[in-house]
Structure 1
Amino acid sequence: METPGNSFEQSARAISRMMGLIFVMFLLVGGFLVYLMIDPTLSAFQSEPEPTLIAVAPPEEDDFDKIENGIHLRTGFVEGEGLMTVVNNCTNCHSAKLVTQNRMDADGWRKTIKWMQETQNLWDLGKNEDIIVDYLAMYYAPGKKGRRQNLTNIEWYDLEE
């Protein structure tokens, strides 16, 4: 004989099973949609995988260190004695732009090299240090720019309120 309490328990179990089924369906559909967002071509289910490597031809040796109009094209450094020593030592760790945006005299460049050796793990440059400092002091020295000259022969006027 069915009691009112039994009917309630059966209904609760049926609702619980239905909710569980809905939850499982939600997880399956949601998981599939997430997978489609990650791999919309469903490439994991294709028989032949697509090639993932792209062959890139190395630069020709002639173009790698090409100089045009007195400028080393790869780095932007000015052509001069010691250029390749600077390229080979300075651009291993940082961009050439870090060098070209700075202006220092020989003492400033030596201090910068010493700072890099003490704090940035720059190796001992040995005899290359003089070559590098000479090059940098020659082509990346402070410009002789001063304050602009005073304006002369100007007729000033008063602003009216």
Structure 2
Amino acid sequence: MRFRPDLLRAMIVLFNLALVIFGFTFFYLLFGETLLKSYHNRPVPMEQPGYRSGGSGKTADAEEEIVNGIHVQSGLIYAEGFDIVRGNCTACHSAKLVTQNRATREGWTDMIRWMQARQGLWDLGENEPVILDYLATNYAPEDIGRRATIDVEEIEWYLLELEEE
């Protein structure tokens, strides 16, 4: 008994399709749940009951030290909205990225919109006004520069005399 070439080709295509479906099913059964959970991960405020930091064995209370109004672990100013800011912002990047920047409320809004458009930041929903209030209040632009202006009149100048050989 001989197979017709067109029937053989169709059987090979069906066999390959079955292998691909079997492979995807096997991969999903092994890793699918973990991949889906990590893909849909949303930040959770760290002060929820039962929170334990990644592997240190310390409870959240042991890591909530506040010194001079600064949360020691993150470096963020401890003020109203702190937990929401820490939960949302540090889910993707270090708190240092927040503390090194200064902006108006509009500037912070622009940064959030950029992160949403370019970096995959989720919709902040009801948390957005709280986050913007916190950032605009605690990380607003400062009037001081990197250093005070030098008073040239007060400098005692001297001439450097070089000896010629």
CA distance in 2 between partners of 1:67 and 1:159 (Å): 51
Q: Which residue of 2 aligns with 1:14?
A: none
Q: Which residue of 1 aligns with 2:152?
A: 151
Alignment of 1:115-134 (within 5 A): 115-134=114-133
Cα 1:73–1:159 change in 2 (3 A) is: closer
Q: Which residue of 1 aligns with 2:100?
A: 101
Q: Aligned with 1:152: secondary structure? A: helix
CA distance in 2 between partners of 1:106 and 1:149 (Å): 32
Q: Aligned with 1:95: secondary structure? A: coil
Q: What TM-score comes out, normalization by structure 1 length?
A: 0.58
Cα shift readout 1:4-47 (whole Å, capped 9, x = no counterpart): xxxxxxxxxxxxxxxxxxxxxxxxxxxxxxxxxxxxxxxxxxxx
CA distance in 2 between partners of 1:93 and 1:57 (Å): 20
Q: Which residue of 2 aligns with 1:63?
A: 62
Letter in 2 for 1:99: V
Q: Which residue of 2 aligns with 1:90?
A: 89
1:79 aligns to 2:69 (yes or no): no
CA distance in 2 between partners of 1:160 and 1:94 (Å): 53
In structure 2, the gaps of 5 or more residues are 1-54
CA distance in 1 between partners of 2:156 and 2:65 (Å): 53
Deviation at 1:127, TM superposition (A): 2.0
CA distance in 2 between partners of 1:116 and 1:98 (Å): 13
Identity %: 50
Moved more, 139-148 or 104-113: 139-148
Q: What TM-score comes out, normalization by structure 2 length?
A: 0.56
Deviation at 1:128, TM superposition (A): 1.1
Q: Aligned with 2:152: secondary structure? A: coil
Cα shift readout 1:71-118 (whole Å, capped 9, x = no counterpart): 112211011111111001101011111111111111111000000000
Cα 1:88–1:57 change in 2 (3 A) is: closer
